[in-house]
Amino acid sequence: MDKESILNKLHNLLLPVLTTKEKEFITLGRVYITKEDIWSYFKDSVWCNKDNLRLCDLVSDILLTSNDEIDEYLLNKKIKEKD
């Protein structure tokens, strides 16, 4: 099974963690960042070059990554989409 398939299967398992991170952003007033934005950041930027992904590591990555890092990634992504 390829990495994309594995991540797609893990997405549903990670929904509670993604929801927690989303609520963290809402608390900080960043209501424009959604669970899917957070998922996109990790899937496309963090985990794309990693092998042997384990659920515990993915949970840790989501909870411990700086909110500013995710926000900056999403801002840059939106800028690239406009160009």
Identity of the residue numbered 18: L
Tokens of 71: 């926000």
Query: 44 or 5: which carries more pLDDT confidence?
Result: 44
CA distances from 23 to 26, 38, 50, 74 (A): 5, 11, 27, 17
Task: Give the pLDDT band of residue 6 (cuts 50, 70, 90).
Answer: confident
Q: Tell me the pLDDT tens digit for each residue of 19-52.
A: 999 999 999 999 999 999 999 999 999 998 888 8
> Residue holding tokens 């990634």?
73
Predicted confidence (pLDDT) at residue 83 exceeds the cutoff of 90: no
For the chain, give every domain's residue range: 3-82
Could you tell me if 61 and 42 are in contact, meaning their C-beta atoms sit under 8 angstroms apart? yes
Write down the pLDDT at residue 3.
75
